[in-house]
Amino acid sequence: MEFVYEVEGGNFTKAGNASSAVKKTMKQLNVDPKIVKRTVVALYEAEVNIVAHAYGGVITVNVNAEHIHIVLDDNGPGIPDIDLAMQEGFSTASSKVREMGFGAGMGLPNIKKNVDELKVSSEVDKGTRVEMKTYLKNQ
């Protein structure tokens, strides 16, 4: 089953809407609360990344009996050095964003910690694609 959410760049008021919707869905599907929590924490982080860095994006969520697969595509500046962005504490966020409590440089590392598989690809000046997968059965 597929769910699609649009994300508006720069609108922090709405950041989290997609995460909340996905959370509600997972609860209705009777997914283990611990997996729900991990997935939603990762998704929220990624959603805020789009809001903070990109002009906009689309989140596509696929759920089946085996796993939940989330793809976040954005139009934005892209990430020149993905390995660097994966390091804890690295951040390019503006001071305005930091003042709001975001941009501590924990984004991608925190996502990685909370999902089973993470794939990040990016093209500078075009956008970034973050793919994450979490298995729903306890392994």
Partner 1 sequence: MSKQQIYHALKIDKDICYGCTHCMNVCPTDAIRINDGIARILKKRCIDCGECLKVCPVDAIYVEQDDLDNIFDYEYRVALVPAVFTGQFPTSITEEEVFSMMKELGFTHVFQAEFMVDMLNELIDDQMEMNEDKPLISTFCPSVVRLIQVKFPSLIDNIASVKPPVDASAAFYRKLLQNQGVPDKQIGIFYVTPCAAKIAAVKGIDDEYAAINGVINMMYLYNKLYTKIKNNKDSERELPVLPHLSSKSIQWSITRGEADNMKGRCLAVDEIHNVIEFLERLENDEIPKVDYLELRACDQGCAGGVLLHGNRFLTVDRMKRRAKQLESETGDINWKEHKEIIEDKDLFISKVNPLPAMSLDQDFAEALKKMERIRNLMCYLPGIDCGACGSPSCQALAEDIVQRKANLSNCVFLQRMMEKSKKLSSEHAIRIIERTWGKDRLDKDCKKIGAKNEGM
CB of 104 to partner 1, least distance (A): 10
Smallest Cα–Cα separation from 62: which of 33, 25, 87?
A: 25
Angle between helices 107-114 and 33-53 (to 10 degrees): 160
Task: Provide the edge-to-edge strand list for the sheet that holds 67-75.
Answer: 2-8, 56-63, 67-75, 127-135, 117-123
Query: What token pair was written down for 17?
Result: 């809407």
Q: Which of these is catalytic: 98, 110, 129, 131?
A: 98
Dihedral sign for Cα atoms in the order 109, 95, 49, 53 = negative
Can residue 52 be called a binding residue for partner 1 (CB under 8 A)? no
Is 20 a binding residue for partner 1 by CB under 8 A? The answer is yes
Closer to partner 1 by Cβ: residue 33 or 80: 33
User: Exactly one of 7, 23, 50, 52 binds partner 1 (CB under 8 A); which one?
Assistant: 23
Residues 137, 49: Cα–Cα separation, whole Å: 28
Binding test (CB under 8 A) with partner 1, winner from 14, 27, 96, 119? 27
Q: Is 45 a catalytic residue?
A: yes
Binding site for partner 1 (CB under 8 A): 1, 16, 19-20, 23-25, 27-31, 33-34, 36-37, 40-41, 44-45, 63-65, 101, 136
Residues designated as active site: 45, 49, 98
